[in-house]
Chains A and B, each alone.
Chain A
Amino acid sequence: MSVLDEITRLQNEAIERIGKSDSLDSLQEIQNVYLGRKGLITSILKSLKDLPNDQRKEVGASANKARVAVSNLLNEKKESLSGGGERSAFDPTLPGTQPQTGVVHIITQVIEDICNTFHGMGFEIARGPNVETDYYNFEALNFPPDHPARDMQDTMFVEHDRLLRTHTTPVQSRFLETHKPPIKIITPGICFRNEAISTRSHVAFHQVDGFVVDEGVTMADMKGAILAFCKAFFSDDVKLKFRPSYFPFTEPSAEVDISCFLCEGKGCRVCKYAGWLEILGCGMIDPNVLEKAGIDSEKYSGYAFGMGVERPAMLKYKINDIRLFFNNDNRFLRQFR
């Protein structure tokens, strides 16, 4: 067999092997066998010098052509095996240049949610001072001096006969004094209790109170409004349970439980397997409160309600420590983008 035939044979053999190869390792081996330092095609090229001049040129050209053909095929196959196609130097996987943005505090977010819902129902926002007088915090709300009801709200007092409001309801006392019905207000804000700080209780917490005064307002209106809010804020299929309770400023008074939105009332750890969560207090505004503000309680009636902000937030986001809200740890805050 002539050298030229041998070259053709080697080339075909190599091409066939490359075609059958299915791994980079075997391609490397093929490369070594034919094109390596001691490869079969390489050896022919190396041995050109031993050939007679007349053959050298022809064999040389043929062997070189075979080398290039095999080499190109090898590279092509290598690329296709390594998932290849064309790769460019542009790397889209580098992280995008995201400008640093901040986060609104979770309590602000929850208050805003609550207020937006009530705003949709026609309530207006009113605010008042955090440092209050005994009159607006208690007396105007029908807490007689020295009444056991005051024990329900451990009070922090400040100098100058003032106290830190124990609920946001004093905004109601102030608003009723200066406005004429119809009145339809919500009052978001912070309030304070003289309680030890623990995972479950804090010296300060936020509350949203609301109240409506007009002619002919009934408990049925109150139930309807609270149901509407709970549907909008928690879930459309929420169920409510009204339990009679006692607040000095409402009569009748009720505590409202909602069906647990985590287990849909089936019972879970969060609702302590009761299927219900205590969420809100409400009632018909006591005639004494209206009269003290100069509103005729025979002509007008009204309802009021109040709810904490931290508690529903804790339930909703499964937060187990109330202190996290005031610690302002940014690893906590940034979870609520």
Chain B
Amino acid sequence: MKISYKWLIELTGLDWNPEDLGDRLTLCGTACEYIDPADQYMHGVIVGEILAINKIEGADKIRLATVNLGDRQLDVVCGAPNIEVGLKVPVATLGAKLDGGIVIKKAKIRGIDSEAMICSERELGLSDEHAGILVLDSSATPGQELAELLDYKDDFMMTFELTPNRPDSMSAVGIARDMAALASVKVNKPTFELTESEEKASDYIKVTIEDEVACPRYAARIIKNVKIAESPYWLKKKLVLAGVRPISNVVDITNFVMLELGQPLHAFDYDRFGSKEVVVRMGKEKEPFKSLDGADHELTSEVIMITNGKTGVAAGGVMGGFDSEVEDGTTNILLEAAYFNASMIRKSRRQLGFVTESSQRFEKGADPNIIEYAIDYAASLLQSLCGGEVLAGIVDCYPSVIEPLKIKFRPKRCNDIIGTELTSDKMKQIFEDLEFTVTGDTDFEVTVPTFRPDIEREIDLIEEISRIIGFDNIPSSNTNIGSLYTPIHYEDKFKKEMRTVLTGVGFDEFISHGLADSKLANLLHTDRPQLKIANPISEDLDIMRNCLMQTAMTVIHHNVSHRSLDLSIFEIGKTYLPPDDKDYWAEDESLVLAVTGNTQHTWRDKPRPRDFYDITGAMKAMATHFGWGDFSFEAKQFSFFEKEISFEISLNNKVCGLIGKMNSKVSKKFGVKQDVFIAELNLAYLLSLSNKLIAYQPLPIYPAALRDLAMIVKEEVQANELLQQVKKSAGKYAESVEIFDLYQGKQIEKGKKSIAISISYRSKESSLESAIVDASQQKVVADLVKKFNVEIRDK
């Protein structure tokens, strides 16, 4: 919403400077976003009179104009078709900064020195008009500053960012009303004189509303014998500074009244209206309609139509029709002022596919009771500015009058909610300054005018009090209300600790939004359903991910393509599945771990490829921290993993995830050409195993006996099988069993490997006698030989 500063000052008589005005309005809820000097593109632009126009050799489009700038003459190269000797034009001189970033500098054009420019409206920031230069009034004095001539000095374009609940602010009077309430003064609303002729408007037009919900009120006036012309300068200026392009006096008047009062109006060419009756009804399916911008529409039953009883002449509250538009030759006007249902206008303009100044005001909620004032004001202007003859009477169809709302208001409740100690009198004053009427003493009955449809309840009135006194005048409490004790949920603590453990072992955390590409998802869990986005912003973000591996691969791709090849990363995040019939949907949290590239290269440690064991190592670090016990890995084929390295992960005999080496073909589709190892774990299950209270174990009193055992075994025998067997065979004194060496290669037969295990024996009751340890050790050896056919190596 744009309105000129001087317009607001005229309406209130206040002497606030523009910044002050902007700040005060912002602090009462009408946010002033920009304050632009009206003459911001006019510095260094002065009036010039064209004395002569000469051709430039070898150029057809541009000509050389000699202009009188008052104290000097200048030759200016000009490409506009509409320059003529004798015209007064705006000339931008050296250093002038025009709209669109144009700065006037010395230049040579076709060998001619040029240091000025004759400007179009667009270059001066006046409108989008750029077909020719702006022709000034012939009374202008050469050398005069343009801003002074146009009365743009000391005026400003105020741009307001309005909240959707305040339709009343969409007009100059509406904004002035807030200013007036802040200063406790009255708005100088426009006054006018209207002389009606004897002829009755009702002899010319009849109004029927078929759908009273869509259109509760429709008023019309007839104005005869108008003369279409350019609007007077003061009117055009107000429109331009409000960002509205002047068209012709009749159209400009309807726009002007809308900008000033907030009531959209429409002027039809009465002679081309097609009948003597206005019928307001809903559109018919596939009914054709041509809007005044020349576009053809196919209507639906959701569009409110103004018709002449036969065909549509306007899309009510949104845009006029092409066939009844006011033209240069128009003489008789049918002037419409109507009130439409806000949400039906919203549907209407959605169906039609555009937003207009008019639809914006109706869909936020216009004032049904300003119509007489607005239509009379416009009629008086059509009379005074276009020479029109206003026929007697308003043809006003208003079947059920919309009355102002009366709301109970308790001053005490207001102070209780906002935390103030305002007096009832102060509150009453504020309401009256806002043009509300108040009755009652202890408790009020407040009558809210219909231009404030946002105020429906006591709390809305409390808001009015708070915003007019200013939030900065509400005290700030020092008391901490509510609970002093707050539990930290273990889930939050758990995730925090998990991050600490994983970053501690070298993994970087990444986070994702969860939007993903269905094509890439199809490369992974093909059997999992996908939750599709109905209106995706792009086709590569068309689902919510159904696993975290996908986003991990995307992150790896991003980093690898930026030459960060060595990565250990993790994410704790949600996966999504579609809801099922029972109105339930699955939004589970997972942990993904992924490694790729090499370990770090230092002067001491040579790099090696990151692999499977870097992930299971990190898992072990977590298992140790949270006391989960040992993970186990069961071979299971996943299509996206390499065959040999593809496992399901279990913990306490329950499957809780998967781990593997990403299939190289799948990786390539993600744009990753290096090996990736990845694991995904169910977070809820891990969480359920955590948060154990640790019970202290007494420190050992007696020494441990250590025994090492090296053996050669077939390579398909897994480490864990051996360890489990050793634990079982070593008996009750075996305190720990660890693998400390693994070797394959020279000296070892092909297809076999050498594994070394250390066993620690300890008793809580006494020092172990070596005979007991030796016996256990012998049993271990015997069992291993029997079960796995191992060959024990001598030390």
Which of A's residues lie within 8 Å of B, judged by CB? 94-95, 97, 99-105, 107-108, 112, 115, 119, 121-125, 129-131, 146-149, 151-152, 156-160, 162, 164, 182-184, 190, 192, 194-197, 202-204, 212, 214, 216-221, 223-225, 227-228, 241-246, 251-254, 284, 286-287, 301, 325-331, 333-334
Known: A105-B509, A105-B511. A252 touches B463 (CB 8 A): yes
Residue contact A130 to B587, C-beta cutoff 8 Å: yes
A197 to B540, CA, bound (A): 13
Jot down 8 A-B pairs with beta carbons below 8 A, ordered by A: A101-B506, A129-B587, A195-B537, A218-B477, A219-B466, A224-B476, A243-B31, A331-B564
Q: Is B499 part of the contact surface with A, judged by Cβ < 8 Å?
A: yes
Interfacial chain B residues near A107, Cβ < 8 Å: 511
A230 to B531, CA, bound (A): 39
Interfacial chain A residues near B661, Cβ < 8 Å: none
For chain B residues 546-568, which have a beta carbon within 8 Å of chain A? 555, 558-559, 562, 564, 567-568
Q: Is B574 part of the contact surface with A, judged by Cβ < 8 Å?
A: yes
Residue contact A254 to B471, C-beta cutoff 8 Å: yes
Interfacial chain A residues near B568, Cβ < 8 Å: 100, 102
Identify 11 new A-B residue pairs, CB closer than 8 A, beyond the known A245-B31, A246-B163. Answer: A102-B570, A149-B164, A152-B164, A158-B544, A164-B533, A194-B537, A214-B481, A221-B419, A223-B474, A244-B471, A330-B564
Chain A residue nearest to B476 in the complex (CB): A223
A190 to B573, CA, bound (A): 11
Known: A130-B587, A146-B343, A252-B418. A325 touches B29 (CB 8 A): no
Residue contact A251 to B460, C-beta cutoff 8 Å: yes
Known: A102-B502, A158-B544, A184-B483. A220 touches B555 (CB 8 A): no
Chain A residue nearest to B532 in the complex (CB): A159
Residue contact B533 to A97, C-beta cutoff 8 Å: no
Chain A residue nearest to B481 in the complex (CB): A221
Residue contact B26 to A220, C-beta cutoff 8 Å: no
Known: A223-B477, A244-B471. A103 touches B511 (CB 8 A): no
Chain A residue nearest to B342 in the complex (CB): A148
Residue contact B416 to A216, C-beta cutoff 8 Å: yes
Q: Is B489 part of the contact surface with A, judged by Cβ < 8 Å?
A: yes
Residue contact B486 to A122, C-beta cutoff 8 Å: yes
Interfacial chain A residues near B502, Cβ < 8 Å: 102
Residue contact A103 to B508, C-beta cutoff 8 Å: yes
Q: Return the contact of B476 from the options A164, A220, A245, A327 (Cβ within 8 A).
A: A220
Residue contact B482 to A131, C-beta cutoff 8 Å: no
The smallest beta-carbon distance between A218 and chain B, in angstroms, is 3
A285 to B548, CA, bound (A): 37
Residue contact A131 to B585, C-beta cutoff 8 Å: yes
Interfacial chain B residues near A246, Cβ < 8 Å: 29, 163-166
Q: Is B295 part of the contact surface with A, judged by Cβ < 8 Å?
A: no
Known: A100-B506, A102-B506. A327 touches B558 (CB 8 A): yes
Most chain A beta-carbon contacts within 10 A, residue among B163, B420, B502 = B163
Interfacial chain A residues near B604, Cβ < 8 Å: 97
Residue contact B487 to A220, C-beta cutoff 8 Å: no
Residue contact B513 to A251, C-beta cutoff 8 Å: no
Known: A130-B574, A159-B531, A190-B513. A220 touches B27 (CB 8 A): no
Residue contact B474 to A220, C-beta cutoff 8 Å: yes
Interfacial chain A residues near B471, Cβ < 8 Å: 219, 223, 242-244, 252, 254
Which 3 pairs show the lowest CB-CB distances between chains A and B?
Answer: A220-B419, A218-B419, A204-B513
Interfacial chain A residues near B463, Cβ < 8 Å: 244, 251-253
Interfacial chain B residues near A97, Cβ < 8 Å: 602, 604-605
Residue-wise, chain B 66-107 has the 8 Å CB interface mask toward A (1 for contact) of 000000000000000000000000000000000000000000
For chain B residues 1-60, which have a beta carbon within 8 Å of chain A? 26-29, 31
The smallest beta-carbon distance between A118 and chain B, in angstroms, is 9
Q: Is B600 part of the contact surface with A, judged by Cβ < 8 Å?
A: yes
Q: Is B503 part of the contact surface with A, judged by Cβ < 8 Å?
A: yes
Which of B's residues lie within 8 Å of A, judged by CB? 26-29, 31, 163-166, 343, 346-347, 363-364, 416-420, 457, 459-460, 462-463, 466-467, 471-472, 474-489, 492, 496, 499, 502-515, 531-537, 541, 544, 555, 558-559, 562, 564, 567-570, 574, 576, 578-579, 585, 587, 599-600, 602-605
Chain B residue nearest to A119 in the complex (CB): B486
Residue contact B477 to A119, C-beta cutoff 8 Å: no
Chain A residue nearest to B551 in the complex (CB): A328
The smallest beta-carbon distance between B482 and chain A, in angstroms, is 4
The smallest beta-carbon distance between B428 and chain A, in angstroms, is 19
Chain B residue nearest to A246 in the complex (CB): B163
A245 to B489, CA, bound (A): 34
Known: A122-B482, A196-B537. A131 touches B587 (CB 8 A): yes
Residue contact A156 to B416, C-beta cutoff 8 Å: no
The smallest beta-carbon distance between A282 and chain B, in angstroms, is 10
Residue contact A160 to B558, C-beta cutoff 8 Å: no
A112 to B488, CA, bound (A): 12
Residue contact A157 to B474, C-beta cutoff 8 Å: no
Interfacial chain B residues near A327, Cβ < 8 Å: 558
Chain A residue nearest to B554 in the complex (CB): A328
Interfacial chain B residues near A331, Cβ < 8 Å: 562, 564
Residue contact B558 to A218, C-beta cutoff 8 Å: no
The smallest beta-carbon distance between B664 and chain A, in angstroms, is 23
Interfacial chain A residues near B27, Cβ < 8 Å: 241, 243-244
Q: Return the contact of A287 from the options B364, B459, B476, B579 (Cβ within 8 A).
A: B459
Residue contact A219 to B541, C-beta cutoff 8 Å: no
Residue contact A184 to B486, C-beta cutoff 8 Å: yes
Interfacial chain A residues near B477, Cβ < 8 Å: 218, 220-221, 223-224
The smallest beta-carbon distance between B123 and chain A, in angstroms, is 26
Residue contact B467 to A220, C-beta cutoff 8 Å: no
The smallest beta-carbon distance between B166 and chain A, in angstroms, is 7
Interfacial chain B residues near A156, Cβ < 8 Å: 533-537
Interfacial chain B residues near A164, Cβ < 8 Å: 533, 544
Residue contact A104 to B474, C-beta cutoff 8 Å: no
Residue contact B511 to A325, C-beta cutoff 8 Å: yes
Interfacial chain A residues near B467, Cβ < 8 Å: 244, 252
Known: A131-B587, A160-B578. A220 touches B418 (CB 8 A): yes
A103 to B567, CA, bound (A): 12
A327 to B29, CA, bound (A): 37
Interfacial chain A residues near B570, Cβ < 8 Å: 102
Interfacial chain B residues near A100, Cβ < 8 Å: 506, 568, 599-600
A245 to B463, CA, bound (A): 10
The smallest beta-carbon distance between A260 and chain B, in angstroms, is 17
Residue contact A112 to B496, C-beta cutoff 8 Å: yes
A323 to B254, CA, bound (A): 46
Chain B residue nearest to A326 in the complex (CB): B513
Interfacial chain B residues near A192, Cβ < 8 Å: 513, 515
Interfacial chain B residues near A212, Cβ < 8 Å: 481-482
Interfacial chain A residues near B462, Cβ < 8 Å: 251-252
A94 to B467, CA, bound (A): 66
Interfacial chain A residues near B419, Cβ < 8 Å: 218-221, 223
Residue contact A158 to B479, C-beta cutoff 8 Å: no
Interfacial chain B residues near A101, Cβ < 8 Å: 503-506
Chain B residue nearest to A282 in the complex (CB): B471
Residue contact A159 to B559, C-beta cutoff 8 Å: no
Chain A residue nearest to B360 in the complex (CB): A148
A6 to B505, CA, bound (A): 74
The smallest beta-carbon distance between B548 and chain A, in angstroms, is 13
Residue contact B486 to A244, C-beta cutoff 8 Å: no
Interfacial chain B residues near A214, Cβ < 8 Å: 481-482
The smallest beta-carbon distance between B409 and chain A, in angstroms, is 14
A146 to B164, CA, bound (A): 12
The smallest beta-carbon distance between A102 and chain B, in angstroms, is 4
Residue contact B515 to A203, C-beta cutoff 8 Å: yes
Q: Return the contact of B466 from the options A184, A244, A325 (Cβ within 8 A).
A: A244
Residue contact A220 to B475, C-beta cutoff 8 Å: yes
Residue contact A158 to B531, C-beta cutoff 8 Å: yes
Interfacial chain B residues near A241, Cβ < 8 Å: 27, 472
Residue contact B585 to A162, C-beta cutoff 8 Å: yes
Residue contact A244 to B28, C-beta cutoff 8 Å: yes
Q: Return the contact of A158 from the options B363, B534, B558, B602 (Cβ within 8 A).
A: B534
Q: Return the contact of B480 from the options A122, A202, A244 (Cβ within 8 A).
A: A122
